[in-house]
Amino acid sequence: RKEVEQDPGPFNVPEGATVAFNCTYSNSASQSFFWYRQDCRKEPKLLMSVYSSGNEDGRFTAQLNRASQYISLLIRDSKLSDSATYLCVVSYNQGGKLIFGQGTELSVKP
Amino acid sequence: DGGITQSPKYLFRKEGQNVTLSCEQNLNHDAMYWYRQDPGQGLRLIYYSQIVNDFQKGDIAEGYSVSREKKESFPLTVTSAQKNPTAFYLCASSIVGLQPQHFGDGTRLSIL
């Protein structure tokens, strides 16, 4: 079983749609959680950290369920510019080693 | 502007040749990392360093070597022992462990 698992997609949605991604992780000692965005042939960029209480940044909402060991990302009112691959990332030791999911591809169509 | 600079952007390696990928950061971050990404796959950790003159192997260190002589610099050498080096190589840095990492724009390595 992979340490971090995501549905690879692709998710094809129309502009304005709401889309949700889920991610599960296997190590219960995981301590830090992030969502990164990666555009085609580019480097990953931090989208948002994920906090236990859940957090929101504009159209993006991230939630963490430690009991079930999953993380979610909700995107409201999708824009064409949201088209990218979204990477779920966890960390569980002081060395800062990040474990990346394989990513979920999102394609927003006009 | 603060950031992470990787060079070159594209690199071609001949069979049996060692090549070195450069990574420099001016963010004053203590920790630096090297990842490899293959098409359609997630990032895999090659090496990481939390402090100058110290580094640890990641999940796929075989065929690679690193050095950390300066806080700002963490070069990666892809040796001839790495039999499948074609990939997208990403360098990252962070303040300390458990903090988000910031990435350079990567080096694409191909075999001639």
Instruction: State the pLDDT at residue A18.
Output: 97
- Mean pLDDT in runs of 10 for chain A (110 residues)? 87 97 90 93 94 93 94 97 96 77 95
Per CB-CB distance under 8 Å, the chain A contacts of B98 are 31-32, 91, 94, 96
Instruction: State the pLDDT at residue B1.
Output: 61
3-state secondary structure of A81: helix
Q: Which of B26, B15, B33 is nearest to B75 (CA)?
A: B33
Query: What burial class does residue A72 get, using C-beta atoms within 10 Å of its C-beta: 0-12 exposed, 13-18 middle, 19+ buried?
Result: middle
Instruction: State the pLDDT at residue B111.
Output: 85
Task: Give the whole-angstrom CA distance, residue B30 versus residue B94.
Answer: 7
Check CB contact under 8 Å for A46 and B102: yes
Task: Give the whole-angstrom CA distance, residue A9 versus residue A34.
Answer: 19
Kindly state the tokens that stand for A56.
């929101």
Task: Give the whole-angstrom CA distance, residue A36 versus residue B33.
Answer: 16
Calculate ∠ Cα B48-B53-B54, nearest 5°.
Answer: 40
CA nearest A47 in B: which residue? B100
Q: pLDDT per residue over B23-74, tens digit each? A: 999 999 999 999 999 987 889 999 999 999 999 999 999 999 999 999 999 9
3-state secondary structure of A80: helix
Q: What's the mean per-residue pLDDT of chain B?
A: 92
Instruction: State the pLDDT at residue A94.
Output: 59
- At B96, the pLDDT band (50, 70, 90 cuts) reads confident
Least Cα separation, residue A110 to chain B (angstroms)? 25
Q: pLDDT per residue over B66-95, tens digit each? A: 999 999 999 999 998 888 999 999 999 998
Check CB contact under 8 Å for A95 and B102: no
Q: Which of B83, B108, B101 is nearest to B17 (CA)?
A: B83
For residue A82, the 8-state DSSP code is: G
Kindly state the tokens that stand for A74.
């909700």
Per CB-CB distance under 8 Å, the chain A contacts of B31 are 96
Q: Is the pLDDT of residue B98 over 70?
A: no
